[in-house]
Structure 1
């Protein structure tokens, strides 16, 4: 009789585990991420303060599937558009050797190229994925990189095509052992969200971080508004690691001066601070990276 009760309890537990979602709700994390290299102002990896108690990701900005001279779309053949004078393969190796908690990724797309919008513009899913896998594998291996970030902001393809292209790209790079993590960088715009939510619906299980651009909200955002925005995006990217963010170029959102770190403390107390990212090291160089230090201090304090 007792054995049957034990078996019933065991199989009942197994059934509950089977019903549980494959993604646990993310809790607090010590992940800090920063974009670098888009503004060609001479910023180096070694300029940025790196705290030992955090997982630190530099994100090179940007690799774009456009030609470098008279920029035109190339259907997935990526070229480097970051500051290659200062952010070199040897510089990547040096910063990773010096700090074992540092990983380096590259971001795809961005807002503009050569003064015009950088469009996601594939000829077909298969041809774009084939070209992207080949060209990005070369760049990632040359620079000894660890991951990719998806930051397309303008589209000449429907959401399902975007989802299939990006989803298959990430899947292939991961399966080939070329990258160990991926992220997406959406913001609150109807067209942008329709594309990234389609990607999340089909391929959210292979996307490790959501670098949501909270700084794209209006300048003067309050703490309470920010908390509402955060809650909305947690629903949009359910079970995702939604990182909070601010910009050091004064562009918008909830700024450090207006309560960003208050919001972080609230989220951390609720077990919802999955990490912080900053746009960008290039802009922070002039103020001595004071907010990067503050961000990492919050993340590095034990939960």
Structure 2
């Protein structure tokens, strides 16, 4: 080998070394993960709350989540993926969706599937088969999305008559199809700390987590009297469970469970923000917040809109 070839080899080796260094997982710095996303469920309790009642900070990304669309009929029978609107559609109608989006360029409107109960009966996930459920769900939900001019879906089933793998396939294929068809631009899931619930959502996450944009983890599902340090630990545990997901902090308006705004929720959020882990905040729900003047919605959005 000639001496002239040596500098060329050195250059090739140096370039190779630099490329390896740049593509090595240990050398990549994670981008700051804080987000100004604020989300609020609305319409489940029929308390005449309107989109326009809720304060909207122009410096946040704001998602309303209509609650709920359920694959049940009015006689409380399951319908195998044929979804009906069960939110307060008198006050939260298609024209009101268009109006709030026209007034606020930072607002998107989604809707949630399932929920806890329908007419006092547990709203179970109960498909006849994967293929038939997905086919019916894609058709019925596309119709609702187009009628209401909606942007995304949230999955909030809490009761199951199907195994985790069936749930994962049904929901995963549904989200895939709606996204591929350009019908929705984002999807979220809303699990909480219960063995049966977690087994279903973690199966979904394992198979289709790359299609799920946000994890609306119901941290208000933990006991009332949760402390700030307990909340942080719960948050880190669930962030590990839903590894790579944007897990949002959350509270319940009436303060009945979890870490309430009065007892340190915003302290916990400040701490997460300082660690670049505050991916957003969501609230259950506007229906109850109306009675207390939406004071915690304003505080949440101010926190999210303020650079750390």
- Please report how far the alpha carbon of residue 8 of structure 1 lies from its aligned counterpart in structure 2 after TM superposition: 3.3
Quick one: structure 1 residues 75 and 20, their matched pair in 2 at CA, closer, same or farther if it must change by over 3 Å?
Answer: farther
Aligned equivalent of 2:3: none
Q: Distance in 1 between matches of 2:206 and 2:269?
A: 27
Q: Which runs of 4+ in 1 moved over 3 A?
A: 1-22
| 2:115 is aligned with 1:102 | no
2:68 to 57, 62, 76: 62
Quick one: structure 1 residues 25 and 302, their matched pair in 2 at CA, closer, same or farther if it must change by over 3 Å?
Answer: closer
| 2:252 is aligned with 1:247 | yes
Structure 1 length as normaliser, TM-score? 0.96
Quick one: structure 1 residues 8 and 173, their matched pair in 2 at CA, closer, same or farther if it must change by over 3 Å?
Answer: farther
Instruction: Quote the RMSD (CA, aligned, Å).
Output: 1.7
- Please report how far the alpha carbon of residue 302 of structure 1 lies from its aligned counterpart in structure 2 after TM superposition: 1.6
Q: Distance in 2 between matches of 1:10 and 1:103?
A: 46
- Residues 77 and 131, structure 1, Cα contact 8 Å, conserved in 2: yes
Q: Distance in 1 between matches of 2:21 and 2:114?
A: 42
2:45 to 15, 39, 56: 39
Q: Which protein is bigger by CA-based radius of gyration?
A: 2
Aligned equivalent of 2:59: 53
Q: Which 5+ residue runs of structure 1 have no aligned equivalent? A: none
1:156 to 139, 154, 161: 161
Aligned equivalent of 2:150: 145
- Please report how far the alpha carbon of residue 276 of structure 1 lies from its aligned counterpart in structure 2 after TM superposition: 0.2
Q: Which 5+ residue runs of structure 2 have no aligned equivalent? A: 1-5
Quick one: structure 1 residues 5 and 168, their matched pair in 2 at CA, closer, same or farther if it must change by over 3 Å?
Answer: farther
Quick one: structure 1 residues 115 and 269, their matched pair in 2 at CA, closer, same or farther if it must change by over 3 Å?
Answer: same
1:185 to 186, 190, 195: 190
Q: Distance in 2 between matches of 1:200 and 1:118?
A: 21
Structure 2 length as normaliser, TM-score? 0.94
| 2:286 is aligned with 1:298 | no
Aligned equivalent of 2:279: 274
Quick one: structure 1 residues 217 and 64, their matched pair in 2 at CA, closer, same or farther if it must change by over 3 Å?
Answer: same
- Please report how far the alpha carbon of residue 250 of structure 1 lies from its aligned counterpart in structure 2 after TM superposition: 2.9
| 2:231 is aligned with 1:199 | no
- Residues 255 and 261, structure 2, Cα contact 8 Å, conserved in 1: no
